[in-house]
Amino acid sequence: MIYNVMKDTIKYAIGQLEENTFFAPGAIENLKEIIKNYNSILLFYDKEAFKPCGAEAFFQTLSERFPIRKIPYSGKALPIEDIQKIYDDIKNIKNIDLIIAVGGGTIIDLTKICALTISNELAGVDEVLTGKTFDNKIDLAFIPTTAGTGSEATTFAVVYKDKKKFSILSPTMLPRYTILDPHLLRSLPEKVLNATLLDALAQGIESMWAAGGTDESREYARIAISSVLTGLEETDATKKLEAFLLGAHFSGRAINISKTTISHAISYPLTSYFGIPHGIAVFLTLPQIARLNFFAEAADIQANVTTAQIKERFAAIFELFAAADITALTKKLKDILAALHIKEKLRDYGLKKEDLPITAENSFTKGRSDNNPRKISKEIILNLLGEIY
């Protein structure tokens, strides 16, 4: 065993699931009962994953008996213009009472935003960017087909306008039903699965050290890290997917409270300017960020944390990774990238040296960079990007 995961991690994680969260191979079948209570139903789905994951056949049968309006989407980030086009198509549908999302973080975020715009009969999707909080009034059922963002468990949605990232917040965007069905992940290309599980692991780790964390979020983070590490060591294909799916879900629940930190903030320009998949973009800087945070002195840190707390939170991470110290932890993080055949240098993703300043410049997202336990300047980021260039 390379790691020291929590005893009976998966059983424990299942015990911590909330009511109306259905977890099992084949859990999508629960939708047959749920749907009986609704009359006007929208289904958002990922165009690429829908058929191979098995959901298309499932919904084919279901839509013979229930009125389901299907809205396909494909895209890695979510530009506001795309949401507007979809909204224009659906805004005249009356009395929508259930919206289902089948896909990864992008589809779930798209569904959240459309739920807000439809609920409030907004004239344009742009209105959600004004900072005003809108309430969603429609029941949501989220069915993730990746093991990454845990978006099904968060009250925020990420959208892009002019390549800039916006996080839309509304506590009412949490779904009434969550369906975690590992069978839907079986057809996921290995590359996508690997990138998304890195996101889940990074979210767990960042949540653990986040300045805004609580005992509750750190407990979810512990479950998330433990589940993903369990999945990495698991050899049975279904059990592996179960572990990753639970890991992603709990990483979502963890960051829903704590929010993410600087690795996520740096990842946004890496994704929007250079197309690096989100999970990889986040994980590339994680070993360096871990060192920076671990060695932070009292003068370097945010007002709401102490160096003792940071050390304590690292101790919990070391424990799960079976790492004796920070050097052992960073080595294990890099070993994970190597084991998944993921390149760890920015130049491998087409970045040029002259791209680093603009990346550093755009690495500050309010609520993410300032949620890192150590205060981070542009110079620190530029330095760090140079190290992994």
Task: Tell me which residues touch Fe ion (CB under 5 A).
Answer: 199
Euclidean distance between CA atoms 334 and 190, whole angstroms? 19
Measured from the CB atom, is 199 or 242 closer to Fe ion?
199
Tell the smallest beta-carbon distance from residue 149 to Fe ion (Å).
5
Put the strands of the sheet holding 98-103 in their side by side order. 21-23, 177-180, 139-144, 98-103, 41-46, 68-73
Region at 151 (left for phi over 0; alpha for psi -120 to 50; beta for the rest): alpha
DSSP structural state of residue 301: B
Nearer to Fe ion, 59 or 268 (CB): 268
The amino acid occupying position 264 is H
CB of 178 or CB of 256, closer to Fe ion: 256
Nearer to Fe ion, 198 or 356 (CB): 198
The residue (of 134 and 283) whose beta carbon lies closer to Fe ion is 283
Rounded least distance, CB 248 to Fe ion, Å:
9
Q: How far is CA 3 from CA 137, 224, 247, 261, 342, in A?
A: 43, 14, 15, 24, 20
Place of tokens 């009292």: 298
Residue, CB closest to Fe ion: 199
By beta-carbon proximity to Fe ion, the closer residue of 117 and 263 is 263
Closest CA to 378 of 239, 274, 255, 269: 269
In the complex, minimum distance from the CB of residue 249 to Fe ion, in angstroms, rounded to a whole number: 13
Residue (96 or 173) nearer to Fe ion, CB: 173
Which one-letter amino acid corresponds to residue 107? I
Q: Could you tell me the smallest distance in angstroms from the CB atom of residue 148 to Fe ion?
A: 7
Question: In sequence order, what are the residues at sequence separation of 6 or more whose Cβ sits closer than 8 angstroms to the Cβ of residue 78?
Answer: 106, 109, 110, 113, 157, 158, 159, 160
> Rounded to the nearest whole angstrom, what is the least distance from the CB of residue 347 to Fe ion in the complex?
23
Nearest residue to 260 (alpha-carbon basis) of 184, 300, 203, 331: 203
Instruction: Decide if 96 contacts 108 (C-beta within 8 A).
Output: no
Can you tell me the distance from the alpha carbon of 342 to that of 364, in angstroms, rounded to the nearest whole number? Answer: 25
- To Fe ion, the closest distance from the beta carbon of 33 in angstroms equals 32
The least CB distance from residue 109 to Fe ion, in Å, is 11
Which CB atom, from 139 or from 206, has the smaller least distance to Fe ion? 206
Instruction: In angstroms, give the least distance from the CB of 365 to Fe ion.
Output: 12
* Among 34, 166, 55, 154, CA closest to 105: 154
- DSSP for 46-100 reads ETTTTTTTTHHHHHHHHHHHS-EEEEEE--SS-BHHHHHHHHHHHTT-----EEE
